[in-house]
Structure formats: structure tokens, C-alpha cells
Amino acid sequence: MKTFRTLLVDDNEAFLVLARHLLATVPEIEVIGLGHDGYDAVRLAEELRPDLILMDLSMPGMSGLQATRLIKAQDAPPHILITSHYDDAEHREHTAQAGADGFISKHDYEQRIADYVRGSMSMGGSPNG
């Protein structure tokens, strides 16, 4: 079984704790780092070279969309799934335009994150290396 080295990025500490707890039940996921804004995401993506980043759409300083654009310009960029409470066609379109590989609503996160990650990663996200 492949393990996907995963970076979690969100400005809400309670959400990071919840996400890490939920992902601990997914054997294919190894959480290797936590970030709190887009600047952390870009820096940690370069330092840690994760296979997968689960990143909040809206964060202070640098948004998840800005960070996605910068990370996707790196050599061998990771798979990026954007998470947000804003679940509408416009936000999903902006997510796709930024180069993200997928979108998941925070309203569905607890019930669907494990299946969503497995499905998204099997459709084209193989581990780096």
C-alpha cells in the first residue's frame, strides 16, 4: 500500500486538529506537516516535498489559491485539494483555474475526506519519488 505524505494548511487551529485526527484513521495518509497560511504552504511544500496538500481556500496573508499557483510552478508539484466553507460554482471554478487538483467542502469533510482523498489520489496522484 502506498502512503501519501500529506501537508495540512489552514488558519483555523481547531480545523487542523480535526483534520489531523480524521486523517489518522486513513492508513494511506501520513501527515508530515502543518501550516497556517499560504506562505507556510509554499515554504513547507518546498522543504517537505509532500505528495498531497489539503489547503484552506481563504487564509490571511496569502490565500490557498495564490499558494496553489506558486506550488504548482515547482518541480514535481504535489497533488492539492482545496478545502472551504464556500461551496459554490464560482469558488470551485477559481480553485480549478489556480491549478488545484480538487475541492472538498468543509461541510462534507468529516463524512467524506477519507474516500475523497483515496479517490482523488488514485485518479492521477501517485506519490512523488
pLDDT (tens digit per residue) in 81-93: 998 877 677 777 8
Whole-number pLDDT of residue 92:
79
| Rounded Cα–Cα distance for residues 16 and 8 (Å) | 7
**pLDDT tens, 32-61?**
999 999 999 999 999 999 999 999 999 999
What's the whole-model pTM score?
0.86
pLDDT given at position 107: 79
Residue 86 to residues 69, 106, 115: CA-CA distances in angstroms? Answer: 19, 8, 21
E strand map for 1-128? 4-9, 29-35, 52-56, 79-84, 102-105
Q: How far apart are CA 97 and CA 91, in angstroms?
A: 10
- Look up the CATH number of domain 12-122: 3.40.50.2300
Query: Is it the case that residue 126 has pLDDT exceeding 50?
Result: no
Could you state, in order of their start, the residue ranges of all structural domains in the chain? 12-122
* Residue 90 confidence (pLDDT): 79
Secondary structure letter of residue 80 according to DSSP: E
